[in-house]
Amino acid sequence: QVQVLESGGGLVQAGGSLRLSCAATGSRFSVKAMAWYRQAPGKQRELVAVSTSGGSTDYADSMKGRFTISGDYAKNTVWLQMSSLKPEDTAIYYCNVRAANYPNWWEENDYWGRGTEVTVSS
SS3 22: strand
- The pLDDT assigned to 1 comes to 82
Sequence-separated (6 or more) residues with CB below 8 Å from residue 65: none
- The pLDDT assigned to 70 comes to 97
- The pLDDT assigned to 60 comes to 92
Nearest residue to 7 via CA among 17, 24, 29, 22:
22
Going residue by residue through the chain (122 aa), what tens digit of pLDDT does each one get?
899 999 999 999 999 999 999 999 999 999 999 999 999 999 999 999 999 999 999 999 988 899 999 999 999 999 999 999 999 999 999 999 999 999 999 999 999 999 999 999 99
Sequence-separated (6 or more) residues with CB below 8 Å from residue 111: 1, 2, 3, 4, 24, 96, 97, 98, 99
- The pLDDT assigned to 64 comes to 83
